[in-house]
Amino acid sequence: MPRLAGKAALVTGGTSGLGAETVRRFAAEGAAVAFAGRDAGRGAAVERETGAGFLAADVRSDADTARTVAAAVERLGGLDVLVCNAGTGLVLPLAETAPDELNRILDVNVTGCLRYARACFPHLEERRGSMIHIASDAGIRAVHEIAAYSVTKAGVIAVSELFGAEGAPYGIRSNAVCPGDIVPGVQATPAGHEEHAEDPVGWVLPPSGRFGTGEDVAGLVTWLVSDESAHMTGATLRIDGGTGAAMRVLTRR
């Protein structure tokens, strides 16, 4: 049987990137899926492709969060899985980051996770469900060119670990996934990464010899929400091809 057969899942930021790959993988693994996002056009495309239900919502809105969770629970008949994937970033060092910009990113990346986790908590308790929070390797070891993003992803890890501790007595699991550099599609070699050559952060090939893909991350997320990982909670898992296994030094411009 598909490993997620009978499970109901809600994915935030599910209209593109890692979120869309997670929606695809969950649907292929037998889950009933609803996903939220702001882009109606992309949402409709993923909905047509996967059969999952699109819910238009802004992760920064308390009202949208409540409406989305209620609609997902009604549509799916309950909730077993929440994947908090919606996120945003900023390419600036911390000394050049305005407080308003930091607050904007915090609201999406950290408070957005908190909004959805709180709203889903009682529903996950009913089904002894699971939360996944998509963080980043930059939340474990900060990257100064994307300083605000690093700060907020460290916050996502803390939120995830705390929900792991608080949820355990209620049968709720919570784990954080920290991807390294991800390229779109299945071509994950340096040649397939040429479209990112202008990236001001700079991309360094992992020790594994290739960059990661959305499929890699979606596979890990699928395992974490399956019954195979029933004793896994409060964990923070890098998926970076070994990049974080040893210190690396990049020259500052």
User: Among 54, 121, 149, 163, which one carries the catalytic annotation?
Assistant: 149
pLDDT digits (tens, 9 = 90+) for 227-251: 999 999 999 999 999 999 987 665 5
- Strand order of the sheet with strand 32-37? 53-56, 32-37, 8-12, 81-84, 130-134, 173-179, 236-239
Domain boundaries, the chain: 8-239
pLDDT digits (tens, 9 = 90+) for 112-138: 999 999 999 999 999 999 999 999 999
Q: 3-state class of 46 per DSSP?
A: helix
H/E segment holding residue 132: strand 130-134
Distance of alpha carbon 100 from alpha carbon 86, whole angstroms: 19
DSSP string, 203-242: ----TTSS-EEHHHHHHHHHHHHSGGGTT--S-EEEESTT
131 has which bridge partners?
Answer: 82, 174
Q: Which fold has domain 8-239?
A: Rossmann fold (3.40.50)
pLDDT digits (tens, 9 = 90+) for 53-69: 999 999 999 999 999 99
Distance of alpha carbon 136 from alpha carbon 182, whole angstroms: 11
Residue 149 annotated to the active site: yes
Task: With CA atoms as reference, report the closest residue to 116 among 233, 35, 219.
Answer: 35
Distance of alpha carbon 64 from alpha carbon 153, whole angstroms: 22
